[in-house]
Amino acid sequence: MRWIESRAFIACQLLAGASGLVTSGCLGELWPEDDVSGPRSAACTSTNRAPALDTSAGERIAIDATDSNVSVIDVDAHGNGADFIGALRLVEGVGTLEIGCEALPIAVYGSFVASATLQFRAVAVKTDRLYTLQFECEQDRLRFIWLESTDGAEHAPEELTGDCSKATFLAASDVVFPAVDMPFPPTLAGYTIDGPYISLTRDGKGSFQLDGLPHELFVLADGGCREDCDLGEWRTLDTLAWDRSGRRLTFGFLDLRQQGLVTFFSQVTLPGLVERIGAWTTPATFTMP
pLDDT value of position 27: 39
61 vs 107, 219, 264, 286, CA distance in Å?
21, 15, 20, 27
User: Do 276 and 175 fall within a single domain?
Assistant: no
Could you say which of 182, 205, 221 is where a domain stops? 182
Confirm if 146 and 139 have CB atoms less than 8 A apart.
no
User: Do 176 and 270 fall within a single domain?
Assistant: no
pLDDT value of position 43: 61
* Res. 22: pLDDT tops 50: no
User: Do 98 and 36 fall within a single domain?
Assistant: yes
Measured CA to CA, the distance from residue 97 to residue 223 in angstroms comes to 24
**Domains of the chain: total:** 2
Beta bridge partners of 216: 207, 242
What's the helix, strand, coil split of the chain in %, to 5? 5, 55, 40
> Which range of residues forms the domain containing residue 224?
187-287
- Burial class (CB within 10 angstroms; exposed 0-12, middle 13-18, buried 19+) of 185: buried
User: Do 204 and 116 fall within a single domain?
Assistant: no
Domain annotation covers residue 52: no
N- to C-terminal Cα distance for the chain? 47
User: Do 120 and 233 fall within a single domain?
Assistant: no
State the average pLDDT over residues 70-84.
92
DSSP SS3 for 142: strand
State the average pLDDT over residues 70-98.
93
Domain annotation covers residue 242: yes
* Res. 19: pLDDT tops 70: no
* Res. 46: pLDDT tops 80: no
pLDDT digits (tens, 9 = 90+) for 197-255: 999 999 999 999 877 889 999 999 998 764 455 655 668 999 999 999 999 999 999 99
User: What's the sign of the alpha-carbon dihedral 119, 251, 47, 77?
Assistant: negative
* Res. 25: pLDDT tops 60: no
More confident residue, 267 or 8: 267
Domain annotation covers residue 49: no
Query: pLDDT-derived band of residue 14, with 50, 70 and 90 as boundaries?
Result: very low
Measured CA to CA, the distance from residue 99 to residue 81 in angstroms comes to 9
pLDDT value of position 74: 92
286 vs 4, 114, 205, 236, 251, CA distance in Å?
50, 28, 14, 12, 21
Domain annotation covers residue 46: no
User: Do 100 and 114 fall within a single domain?
Assistant: yes
pTM (global) more than 0.75? yes
